Amino acid sequence: METEPKIPVQPASRRSQESYTDISQYKSGVAAKNKLVTAEEAVSIILDGDTVVFGGFAGVGLCEEVALALEERFLATGKPNNLTLLFAVATGPGDDRNKGLNHLAHEGLLRRIIGGHWGLAPKIQKLAIENKVEAYNLPLGIISHLFRNIASRKAGIFSQVGLGTFVDPRNGGGKLNAKTTEDLVRLLDIEGEEYLYYKALPVNVAVIRGTTADTDGNITMEREALTLESLSIATAARTSGGLVIAQVERVAQAGSLNSRQVKIPGILVDCVVVARPENHWQTITDQYNPAFSGETRIPLTSLPAMPMDIRKIIARRAVFELKPNCVVNLGIGMPEGVASVAYEESILDFITLTAEPGVIGGLPSGGLNFGVGVNAAAIIDQPYQFDFYNGGGIDVAFLGMAQADRQGNVNVSRFGPKLAGAGGFINISQNSKKVVFVGTFTAGGLKCRLDNRGLAIEQEGKVGKFVRDVEQITFSGPYGAKSGQKILYITERCVFRLGDQGLELTEIAPGVDLQKDILDLIDFKPLMRRPPKLMDERIFKPGPMGLKEELLNITLEARIIYDAENNMMFANLAGYSVKSIEDIEAVREAIEKLLKPLGKRVYAVGNYDRFTIDPDLIGAYSEMQQYLMERYFSKVSRFTTSAFLRLKLGKALEDRGVAPHIYESPDEAHKFLVND
């Protein structure tokens, strides 16, 4: 029996207040026109008090034709009014130009705004800051998942995302001004653990966009840079009893679209608006870039090198936190430099960069095109990207740092009259295995230069960024310390790490005076267990740092690890190259040196990603594996994404009577070991 509470469905009679007597009459009028309507006709279905969701992501996927028509109707008629605007990421130009959700920044048009990231629509920020609307800032990933839960009519979301931050009811519950009083977030205890409960609300109108619509309303997205949460938004509106407006650039005959390319089925779509070309750019800066949509792949050989400035120094130190095969998230702004330095150091091929709206692999873009990328391996829907993020899929996240305090709290979301919003920062920082916050030590006029001694501070910034207490907690230091995450704070002149007692100063740039340039400019006393060591001198010198060789040339001793608790040996042979009999013997000796003193057999798992071997040596390598199996291993599994290696090495091992057990993923390899 179903007992889970459901959000209420919007009754059809709700729409009798306006020009259509009911939804069926509205739909019959649209059906005669094959769901194709003008933008003006589409926005006429939006009623006073409706909750309206707009899709898009920052400078990507603006529903410009519909937003403009809604603004013009309100200014001409005063209708609709008192809307609730809900979005994961506000679309806009980042300034006061009338683009994106800036179109909706009118008193009376909006009553309430609930958003994840507000930064690109400063006009709606102003409404919140001036206390003219009710306003909430919730984590982007929570809102993305909330759309999905609304689609299945669930009453809300239970999550630990946001605990300890400004979203926690103990710190304000995401409310942004005095006008905002209703609690959308509650703190609950579930079996002894704290959770936040995020309340869902029905969606009356969803505004999404795609590339092509057929006359039945089926939508494809072949020229879109991102697919975002469009399907979840449309489904949320439909199951709430609401309506869906889809902005597209072209129309096809019903039944002519490839069903595998249809992202939004026509059964969810009520209105199709064909936008004028100037109102349907792929991003706010690019009318259409085929590399963004995955239509083409571009060579990355001509990317300009970053100038040797403060931003590059910070990015260079940050890149030292990368490991082979790690999955990485890059935040907007300062973290974007990490990708540029990784490219300069020729290590992009050994890591996987991701962006929160769904880009996996390739090279993420920055600026107003943040969120899209070129040469991506995959572009998935944003809610699924946050499933991966929330589950701890990110090995290391590089995120901005506008303020940090004595407890390790970080603020990137609000500063006096400026409201950026948290975006995906809370989800990502709270759930990544390692988090690296990057930013300058001070702000407002900071000037540095490089000399023979290292870094010289020519002019100090006017604003200190390491304060006693941050203005708003976007990342909770105590929660992060308790979780066991590795947390670093990297600036151009020093590095801190987060411990149980707050920030600890661990590194200092050559040429920097510890007292004058660091301690005198901090509003608290950081922990120093020992004198901070010097940051790597290569960071401050022009030319490549040689990280590729360092990243890949791991000693065999460091590659072979024994876990006594589980009696398991792990051999990290990723990137290892076997070119001679001596290389084979080196592997055997390293393993035997570790295992022989144990006096017992162990489980063993080997990582063979990017492992290369001369074909003439496969027989000798399998013979060495047989030797180890007979003496030291009780059970062995291996994994590699290379089908060729699985075939060749597997065959060689079988020929010697050794079961290969070579899998495609580490999860499969470990599962084999533990399931006898």
- pLDDT value at position 16? 43
Whether 119 has a pLDDT exceeding 90, the answer reads: yes
CB atoms within 10 A of CB 186: 14
Identify any residues that bridge with 185 across adjacent strands, giving them in sequence order: 198
Full set of structural domains in the chain with CATH: 12-153+203-275 (3.40.1080.10), 310-540 (3.40.1080.10), 554-674 (3.30.750.24)
How far, in Å, CA of 22 to CA of 11, rounded? 10
Identify any residues that bridge with 502 across adjacent strands, giving them in sequence order: 499
How far, in Å, CA of 161 to CA of 68, rounded? 35
Main-chain phi, psi angles of 315, to 5 degrees: -65, -40
Percentage above 90 pLDDT, the chain: 76
Cα 581 to Cα 611, 615, 621, distances in angstroms: 16, 12, 8
More confident site: 642 or 203: 203
What global pTM score does this model have? 0.81
Poorest-pLDDT segment among 130-134, 602-606, 607-611, 672-676: 672-676
For the segment 274-292, what is each residue's pLDDT rounded down to a tens digit?
999 999 999 999 999 999 9
- pLDDT value at position 262? 98
For the segment 338-389, what is each residue's pLDDT rounded down to a tens digit?
999 999 998 988 899 999 999 999 999 988 999 999 999 999 999 999 999 9
Residues that are catalytic: 356
- pLDDT value at position 28? 46
- pLDDT value at position 646? 67
Residue 587 confidence class, pLDDT cut points 50, 70, 90? very high
Q: Where are the alpha helices (DSSP H) in 292-434?
A: 310-319, 336-344, 382-390, 425-431
How far, in Å, CA of 540 to CA of 299, rounded? 29
- pLDDT value at position 669? 67
For the segment 21-68, what is each residue's pLDDT rounded down to a tens digit?
344 444 444 444 579 999 999 999 999 999 999 999 999 999 999 999
How far, in Å, CA of 187 to CA of 197, rounded? 6
Q: What is the mean pLDDT of residues 100-116?
A: 98
- pLDDT value at position 674? 65
- pLDDT value at position 404? 97
How far, in Å, CA of 347 to CA of 353, rounded? 11
Residue 643 confidence class, pLDDT cut points 50, 70, 90? confident
For the segment 500-557, what is each residue's pLDDT rounded down to a tens digit?
889 999 999 999 999 999 999 999 999 998 899 999 999 999 888 988 877 777 778 8
- pLDDT value at position 391? 95
| Closest residue by Cα to residue 432 from 390, 380, 481, 489 | 390
Whether 124 has a pLDDT exceeding 90, the answer reads: yes
- pLDDT value at position 665? 67
Both tokens of residue 441?
A: 């030590």
Q: What is the mean pLDDT of residues 87-100?
A: 96
* Residue 206 near residue 234, CB atoms below 8 Å: yes
